[in-house]
Chains A and B, each alone.
Chain A
Amino acid sequence: MGTDRAGTRVPGTDLEVAAVPQPRREKLTGWGRTAPSVAEVVRPSTREQVAEAVAGAGARGIVARGLGRSYGDPAQNAGGRVLDLTGMNRILGVDLETGTVEVEPGVSLQQLMQAMLPFGYFVPVTPGTRYVTVGGAIGCDIHGKSHHADGSFAQHVLELDLLLADGSVRTLTPESDPGLFWATAGGMGLTGVIVRAKLKMMRVETSRILVETKRVADLDEAMERMTLTDADYRFSVASLDNLATGPSLGRGWVESGNFAGLEHLPAKLRETPLAFHPKPLAAMPDLFPSGLLNRRTIRLMNEANFRRAPKDAHPHLASIGGFFHPLDAIHDWNRVYGAAGFLQYQFVVPFEAAATLRRVVERVAVQGAPSFVTVLKRFGPASPGYLSFPTDGWTLTYDFPTGTPGLAGLLRWMDAQVLEAGGRLYLAKDSRMSPGDLAAMYPRLEDFRKVRAEVDPHGVFVSDQSRRLSL
């Protein structure tokens, strides 16, 4: 590091030596903007530079970071190094026959959609934002509205190159090295740095989704509708008014959809069935006071949203952005919470534990803890990832401003409920769970630790989250 080889031409060739990135000290947080810490950020553009940065990591280690969409602290490393991989964002190869792509880790899902939709391919799994990198998607083994049908992201990864603590690169497939592959998928960046991945994309005929939105009067109706109709839809999710109580407890609306076929498009859209031109509508200025989103404002929003949802489901066409990523329309939407920030709490409990789910929904509503987004979904079977989150059951997500009175106590009560029901919390969202609960919720943690100890015996790959949770 630190030499000035930047932009030097190799004599007699057209090759340029890539600029050696200069590390800079930076204060980093996750998307929730809580618990900042300072690290030396290195932005490599080649795998050689990744190896150099890993080799040069000091006693405080190193961890990879993508677009910073994890809510808590998994992509921070206080006093150590953070690898900003957004500079490694090349699509390396495409096979239209098989629908596979090879990418560098910093390629975002947005980039993949833009590149591949014209050929009739969509990303295999998308979360609620397109602004996540492939590296992050694998490291968190993310899921989306299609989990019950398609599983999690890593289940569509055919192969990946992992740069290990000793600087060597290992090519992994789920068959060749299941241990390291499934420790890396969902492993929160703690096994090494993914420097290349090969994915299987999803075939689509159009870039529109045929959606049915239906208002549901209470939690039972929401759960019943999803249970009965999930098999017919690739995508399904319920949004709840988290402050409604009594007979309206859990009221909301269920959205179910499938990618539209050509026959579903009106004539005009049929000319450009795969069009994809998402534009951010607005940028969010960083001047919101903490506390703007509170019980009162959220109650008003919930009421308006509930009333807007149609009582009877009629299929309508939605765009990819409108259906999957509504919040991406506003850049930096997390700023609306003000400087105090927010956290996301997502858990899953087995289907048999519907009573736990109800208890949680009730307690949050009665306590009146406002949640900007409250989302309920049914997961399908788990992936083999040691620390992968999704597993058969109901998953519920809340967005709470950190300044909410009594929040710490409420969340601890929820932790206990989830644990007792045999459920777990999602590491990509976590910013405050306890090390003991983590170990109890993830029975395969010991297997994960074993693999990690083999490939990284000196603990080069560490993050604030891995320190906090004694991962």
Chain B
Amino acid sequence: MKDSLGSVQSLLVLGGGSDIALATARKLAQDRTKRIILAGRPSERLDAGADLLRGLGAEVRVVNFDALEFGEHEKVLAPLFEEGDIDVVLLAFGVLGDQKTDERDPLAAAKVVQSNYVGAVTSSLVVAEALKKQGHGALVVLSSVAAERGRKDNFIYGSSKAGLDTFAQGLGDSLQGTGVHVMVVRPGFVDSKMTAGLPKAPMSTTPEAVAEGIVDGLRREADLVWVPAQLRYVFSGLRHLPRPAFRKVVDKQA
């Protein structure tokens, strides 16, 4: 259960190998989160993350979960809630893809969309139902600034996040009055394994900063968190920029 100061006791991470997810889990485990389930595709990274969290005194379970196996989501995720309440679910999986290659390989593009959007929708729905039964809890959905406006250098990834972002907003509204809180997180360019080798964008951030934003947002029960926070104001301007002008901004940046 969440306590009066906003600390939580249990966490389920979907996409447990992600840098942002691990940074968040670490921050929570240093506080009072002592029951953690890391769901993801089996990897050394995932196991190493689990060990690290155990070192912080958490009881950690690793569960085999694949975003692309939509058919399995109900079967894999629903039983996790039978073992005890889950205070926070962090939906952190996602792939960036390679825009240039994927444009020439529609099936590769479909995979990005299926993981980031379709898999996120199916797993979110399973989680939302379970949280509703619990009568409390938070679902944190990792979106991206790329969801805000389409741009030529990341529109496959961006559109998948835009779909997820809209989905999560509506899901949050539909869960009003059920005790369940949905929080959308829109990080800017995050310096992580996902973006390794890519040129850094302005106002870039780190997994630790995103984790900080998530933990703080959970305490405040925020609906939407930008990291860094100033991006909110930047985009409230960029959102209304006419397309030709926006293209110029993007080109200048690149």
* Chain A residues at the B interface, C-beta cutoff of 8 Å: 25, 27, 32, 34-39, 60, 72-73, 77-80, 341, 343, 402, 407-408, 411, 431-432, 434, 464-465, 467-468
Question: Which residues of chain B come closer than 8 Å to A80, judged between CB atoms?
Answer: 135
Tell me, in angstroms, the Cα distance from A326 to B85 when the chains sit together.
Answer: 40
Answer whether A35 and B178 are a contact pair too, CB < 8 Å, given A79-B134, A79-B136: no
Q: How many A-B residue pairs have CB under 8 A?
A: 68
- Are A78 and B134 in contact, with the CB atoms below 8 A? yes
Question: Which residues of chain B come closer than 8 Å to A27, judged between CB atoms?
Answer: 177, 179
Tell me, in angstroms, the Cα distance from A101 to B157 when the chains sit together.
Answer: 71
10 closest cross-chain pairs (CB), A and B: A79-B135, A38-B179, A78-B135, A431-B4, A34-B4, A468-B1, A78-B136, A432-B3, A37-B136, A79-B134
Tell me, in angstroms, the Cα distance from A25 to B1 when the chains sit together.
Answer: 19
20 more CB-based (< 8 A) A-B contacts, given A25-B177, A38-B177, A432-B7: A25-B178, A35-B2, A35-B3, A36-B179, A38-B179, A72-B4, A73-B4, A78-B1, A78-B134, A78-B135, A79-B133, A79-B134, A80-B135, A341-B4, A343-B5, A432-B3, A432-B5, A464-B1, A465-B1, A467-B1
Question: Which residues of chain B come closer than 8 Å to A72, judged between CB atoms?
Answer: 3-4
- Are B179 and A434 in contact, with the CB atoms below 8 A? no
- Are A468 and B136 in contact, with the CB atoms below 8 A? no
Chain A residue nearest to B31 (CB atoms) is A408
Interface status of B32 (Cβ within 8 A of chain A)? yes
Query: What secondary structure prevails in chain B residues at the interface with A?
Result: loop
Tell me, in angstroms, the Cα distance from A408 to B8 when the chains sit together.
Answer: 13
Tell me, in angstroms, the Cα distance from A464 to B136 when the chains sit together.
Answer: 10
Q: Which B residues between 50 and 85 are near A, CB-CB below 8 angstroms?
A: 85
Answer whether A434 and B4 are a contact pair too, CB < 8 Å, given A38-B179, A78-B179, A467-B85: no
* Chain B residues at the A interface, C-beta cutoff of 8 Å: 1-5, 7, 9, 32, 85, 132-136, 177-179
Question: Which residues of chain A come closer than 8 Å to B32, judged between CB atoms?
Answer: 434
Tell me, in angstroms, the Cα distance from A36 to B9 when the chains sit together.
Answer: 16
Contact of B4 among A38, A39, A79, A402 (CB under 8 A): A402
Tell me, in angstroms, the Cα distance from A60 to B130 when the chains sit together.
Answer: 12
- Are B179 and A408 in contact, with the CB atoms below 8 A? no
A sample of 13 inter-chain contacts (CB < 8 A) reads A25-B178, A27-B177, A34-B3, A38-B135, A72-B3, A72-B4, A78-B135, A78-B179, A80-B135, A402-B4, A407-B5, A408-B5, A432-B7
Tell me, in angstroms, the Cα distance from A152 to B253 when the chains sit together.
Answer: 70
Question: Which residues of chain A come closer than 8 Å to B3, judged between CB atoms?
Answer: 34-35, 72, 431-432, 468
Chain B residue nearest to A431 (CB atoms) is B4
Question: Which residues of chain B come closer than 8 Å to A60, judged between CB atoms?
Answer: 133-135
- Are B1 and A73 in contact, with the CB atoms below 8 A? yes
- Are A32 and B4 in contact, with the CB atoms below 8 A? yes
Question: Which residues of chain A come closer than 8 Å to B7, judged between CB atoms?
Answer: 408, 432
